[in-house]
Homo-oligomer: A and B are copies of this chain.
Amino acid sequence: MQVIETIKEMRAVTAKYRTEGKTIGFVPTMGALHEGHMSLVRAARAENDIVIASVFVNPTQFGPNEDYTRYPRTFDEDCELLEREGCGALFFPSPEEMYGMAGSLTWVSVDQLPEHLCGLHRPDHFQGVTTVVAKFFNIVDPHRAYFGQKDYQQSVIIRRMTADLNFPVEIRVMPIVRESDGLALSSRNRYLSADERLKALALVDSLRLAEQLYSQGEKNPAVLTDMMQRSILGGAPNAKIEYIAVVHPDTLEPLKTIKGTAVIALAVVIGTTRLIDNVIIE
């Protein structure tokens, strides 16, 4: 696997693949890779001739009080994992390479969709995400790009940005990968102590409860989120619930009643670690 640190070299590599008529599947990541990321690499390998991954902890998508500096960086292990899954090239630029020494003035932003869920609590986060993804699309020039459903709102916003700006890239969103006890995989799970790791199960347990209530006929989001809140605080009494919401799968607007497909999403802080999870119900 080639490790590429400059935009110029990345362009040369991708141009060569393009000239050879190869299809390129792109897996953008912030590193600290786990089985969730690996499922994206495997999907990309199955659907394309070449897989290009990126590892870039993007400063513009972190708020001033968020975990940019302490975000886990595990480059050697990331390389091993990617190599093992048959990733062809890894783009690993520095922040200076991506944004220039003098910084960047241009933003790609999406209206409305960030006004829900995580966007309410992380202002400017999604504008950082869409900007860096647009840059990656222009540098890597992939046929398809792979994102995880765990970041549900992100996947909807990236789909929309890609369509609205006519990027010739197919967006593929892959299912959440979970530990055997149900915890959604996340690079931030590394922050959890043993006790917090147990308490973190409160997220998935509450989603399972909501699914069960829904399957038994409960279509009222207010009832579902109320039951979920009780469930979370039962399992993790000190948890700080940032939001629990039942939203439309495309507009992300809160639903008053569930008809057709809906997404139940939540963000909960366990100790000092902010975790998110969701399920799609239909």
Q: What residues of chain A have their CB less than 8 Å away from a CB belonging to chain B?
A: 7, 11, 100, 104-113, 130-131, 134-135, 138-139, 141, 160-161, 163-168
**B106 lies within 8 A of A107 (CB):** no
> How far, in whole Å, are A108 and B109 apart by their CA atoms in the complex?
7
> Would A113 and B108 count as touching, CB distance under 8 A?
no
Partner of A106, one of B11, B100, B135, B161: B161
B-side contacts of A113, CB under 8 Å: 105
* Between-chain CB contacts (< 8 Å), 16 pairs: A11-B168, A100-B163, A105-B111, A105-B112, A105-B113, A105-B164, A106-B108, A106-B109, A106-B110, A106-B111, A108-B134, A131-B165, A134-B165, A138-B167, A138-B168, A139-B166
In the complex, which residues of chain B have a beta carbon less than 8 angstroms from the beta carbon of A108?
A: 106-108, 134, 165
CB closest residue in chain B, given A15:
B168
Say yes or no: A106 contacts B139, CB within 8 Å. no
Residues of chain B contacted by A168 (CB below 8 angstroms): 11, 138, 141
Q: A167 to chain B: which residues have CB within 8 Å?
A: 138
A108, A111, A163: which has the most chain B beta carbons within 10 Å?
A: A108
Kindly state the separation between the CA atoms of A167 and B167 in the bound complex, as whole angstroms: 11
- Distance in angstroms from A20 CB to nearest chain B CB is 13
| Residues of B close to A7: CB separation below 8 A | 166
A36–B7 Cα gap in the complex (Å)? 35
Residue on B with the closest CB to A111? B105
Q: How far is the CB of A137 from chain B (nearest CB, A)?
A: 9
Please, which residues of chain B bring their CB within 8 A of the CB of A107? 108-111
Most buried by B among A7, A106, A111: A106
